[in-house]
Amino acid sequence: MRKTLLAALLAACMPHGLLAQPRSGDPAAPIAAVPYPSARVSAQQVPPGTEVNLADWMQANADVGRNPRGHIDVLKWEAANPAPGQALETSPAAIPLTPSQAVALALRHQPGLIAPPQASALARAHIDARVLALTHSVQRAWVNAVAARQTESYLRQVTQAAQTGVELGQRMARVGNWSKMQLLQEQLVLSGAVSQLALAQQTSFSDTEDLVRLLGLWGNATQLVLPAQLPNLPATEINTPDLEAAALRHQPELALARIEAEQAAAGVTELHWRQWQQALDASLQDARRPADAELGQRSTAPILDPRHVPLTHALERAVHAQSQAHTLAVNTRSQAREAWFRWRTALDMAQHQRDAANLAAALQDETQLRYNGMLQSTWDLLASARARLQSELAASQAQRDAWLAYLDLQAVQSGAVVAFSSTSSAAGSAPAANPGH
């Protein structure tokens, strides 16, 4: 009855159709081919020595002259009126996978993480710790996958803007209104954008596969539908004074270490403990280096004089248990402080990058107004659009880093041990190359 109810609850959290799959280990099971959208675009140069046809030049300028904003309006009209056979197909929107659904899918393939009703409190604590670790991994993978797709989307827009610049440049060079050097500059901008997009596609695919492996999916189920962007960061404040206490309360290994330390200490008298402390201080005093010792000088292990303290099995067991409990408590407190500091730093960076993205958007709006007033060129407008997209990209990456730091903080407060990454990957917004002509 319990297994039936559990299966029903898990099924309610899963996308339809994932429960009726054939065996994943069957090599004959039919699967769809892996789609590969190539990031390469055509950026051919105008052939050297191409002669300008006067009729082409007059027709091109007449086409531009019929549009209030010149070249941009020409491309906008062509995009809105595709040639026959070029219309884009649209498919009905699917419901994106939520973090809670992802965790339910991952638990479905981990029967060892389902606590039996007869489990003791200690066994339940160990299972809860493993569930916490799996939940933390799945949620981080979900954030990385969503953020990677968001990055890919932004870089695709950057590439499209660069491709627009190349297309305009080719038309102008073809009728003699542009030099070959100007066209080559735009083609180099496009080449760099294509390289970034290709790498972003690879990162997006890899991050999605990381999530797929944790969810235990294969075949058609690996084509995950994820949200288009990350949710807004939580606005709740973290209670700093309770930070370390919460981490200590929820650390299951620490509770066990405390019990073992108390049991071991019960077999050692108070006098024996004082003798141990005095002997330890004496051995450390003998091994202390002079004050002027150089950094990196070779150290030797302190030697305990058995005349100062009787070394019994009970004392050794008690000292070892106490040391383990102390080290675990110190590390737990330290992780709680570091997780909180990383979260606050990442939150500040996310807010800073969002402010920078808003400034870039305002700059593009101002450039658009000046372009409409014929005070700035088409290329200034394209460059401002690329700069805004790069700022949006930096803001989304900072938001991803903030979410990862928040998940790490919540995991540490819940008793998990987290391996922090060395540095944040978010960077300041980089303006696009070749800002104008």
Domain check: are 218 and 104 in the same one? yes
Question: What separation in angstroms does the CA of 139 have from each of 20, 113, 122, 231?
Answer: 25, 17, 26, 13
Question: What separation in angstroms does the CA of 270 have from each of 205, 234, 324, 398?
Answer: 61, 50, 20, 54
In a domain, 110, yes or no: yes
* Closest to 395 (Cα-Cα) out of 364, 363, 418, 361: 361
CA–CA distance, 263 with 258 (Å, rounded to integer): 9
* Closest to 153 (Cα-Cα) out of 94, 189, 203: 203
CA–CA distance, 355 with 352 (Å, rounded to integer): 5
Q: How many domains does the chain have?
A: 2
Q: Give pLDDT, residue 18.
A: 47
Tell which of 198, 229, 260 closes a domain. Answer: 229
CA–CA distance, 60 with 41 (Å, rounded to integer): 24
pLDDT along the chain (437 residues), means of 10: 40 46 64 74 46 46 51 51 45 80 91 82 81 93 96 92 87 82 88 92 95 91 91 80 85 78 73 72 67 64 69 76 84 91 93 94 88 80 86 94 94 86 53 44
Q: What is the three-class DSSP state of 427?
A: coil
Domain check: are 207 and 346 in the same one? no
In a domain, 392, yes or no: yes
Domain check: are 164 and 258 in the same one? no
In a domain, 270, yes or no: yes
Domain check: are 215 and 317 in the same one? no
Domain check: are 366 and 400 in the same one? yes
CA–CA distance, 139 with 99 (Å, rounded to integer): 6
In a domain, 303, yes or no: no
Domain check: are 363 and 383 in the same one? yes
Domain check: are 144 and 246 in the same one? no
Domain check: are 224 and 250 in the same one? no
Q: What is the DSSP secondary structure assignment for residue 178, as one 8-state letter?
A: S
* Closest to 129 (Cα-Cα) out of 285, 328, 401, 388: 328
**Cβ neighbour number for residue 66 with a 10 Å cutoff:** 11
SS (H, E, C) 106-144: HHHCCHHHCCCCCCCHHHHHHHHHHHHHHHHHHHHHHHH
Domain check: are 322 and 183 in the same one? no
pTM: 0.75
Domain check: are 401 and 264 in the same one? yes
In a domain, 351, yes or no: yes
CA–CA distance, 85 with 158 (Å, rounded to integer): 25
Domain check: are 272 and 323 in the same one? yes
CA–CA distance, 176 with 435 (Å, rounded to integer): 22
**Cβ neighbour number for residue 350 with a 10 Å cutoff:** 22
Contact criterion met (CB below 8 Å) for 389 and 154: yes
Q: Give pLDDT, residue 57.
A: 41
In a domain, 44, yes or no: no
CA–CA distance, 421 with 416 (Å, rounded to integer): 15
Q: Which two tokens stand for residue 128?
A: 């809860």
In a domain, 106, yes or no: yes
Q: Rounded to the nearest 5°, which phi and psi values hold at 213?
A: -65, -40
Question: What separation in angstroms does the CA of 390 have from each of 39, 288, 386, 387?
Answer: 18, 56, 6, 5
CA angle 227, 229, 230 (to 5 degrees): 100
CA–CA distance, 137 with 141 (Å, rounded to integer): 6
CA quadruple 349, 354, 358, 360: dihedral sign:
positive
In a domain, 171, yes or no: yes
Q: Give pLDDT, residue 16.
A: 44
Domain check: are 199 and 275 in the same one? no
CA–CA distance, 87 with 109 (Å, rounded to integer): 42
The rounded radius of gyration (Å) of the Cα atoms in the chain is 31
**DSSP code per residue over 46-68:** PPTTPPPPHHHHHHHHHHHHTST
Domain region containing 410: 240-283+308-421
**Cβ neighbour number for residue 374 with a 10 Å cutoff:** 10
